[in-house]
Amino acid sequence: MTATTPTSNRDTATPGGTPALVVVAHGSRDPRALSTVRALLDRVRTLRPALPVRLGHIELNEPLLPDTLAALGGGEAVLVPLLLGRGYHVKRDIPDMAAASPARTRVAAPLGPHPLLVDALQARLTEAGWPTRPAPDHAVVLASAGSRDPESRADTSRTAALLAARLGVPVVPAYASAATPTVPDAVRALTARGYRRVAVASCFTAPGRFATQCAAAAPWIASAPLGTHPAMARLLLHRYDETLMTDGAMKRRALATP
């Protein structure tokens, strides 16, 4: 089943039924990104077969989010951004598209920061050759897309801190665009401080121009994008469940208020 399959009444989450999970991807001109996202959604469906799972893109790829939401009609959906921090897409684009649709929607938090995201980052580094016991001259640059939004940068910094605590080495956030330091600048800064084994951790959901550009700046090893790692599928479901639980708690408080 793909995201473009027509939906039935059961799949669109009829009133009183299970709200659909709509995974909101950014979109990319790189065809590997779309195939990766679709494979990730298949992992989510395997973990929870009864849950209606849909895909919508902000731009560049079909289905676009407004079309996915239109296909749901008046059904319920939880929109989970396949994005790794707060920024314009999470704060404006997705809520605006949701508000313009006939579906009854709630927007979940982005995927990061969260320990499950760190699970995926650590696993990808290990696959790339990161040692079980790093030496004192080991360090990591956490490479992200970048944003002018300070909350987005704060989320990336928090993810870097969580990864540093997990690995026991310095982890410096760096960006492909719109923010500083760049990945090459972060690598140079760590090298100047005496770190001779600097890895680049790819904090991207799928292959693309930014991920390729950042990996090329690695002086040692660079991890693959997070892609279809099992922790990513679990994290999408966690954000979906978290949103429903938070919404339910707010409704119960409202009913209890005199």
Predicted pLDDT of residue 201: 98
| Cis amide bond preceding 113, omega within 30 | yes
* Helical (H) or strand (E) element with 184: helix 183-192
Tell me whether residue 114 is one of the annotated catalytic residues. no
Catalytic-role residue among 26, 89, 138, 229 = 26
Q: Give the chain's mean pLDDT.
A: 92
* Helical (H) or strand (E) element with 242: helix 230-256
Quick one: what percent of the chain has pLDDT higher than 70?
90
Task: Indicate the residue type of 22.
Answer: V
Predicted pLDDT of residue 17: 81
Relative orientation angle of helices 230-256 and 31-47, to the nearest 10 degrees:
60
Query: At 248, is the pLDDT very low, low, confident or very high (cuts 50, 70, 90)?
Result: low
Per-residue pLDDT averaged across 94-104, rounded? 97
CA distance 42 to 49: 10
> What's the pTM?
0.90
CA distance 144 to 158: 12
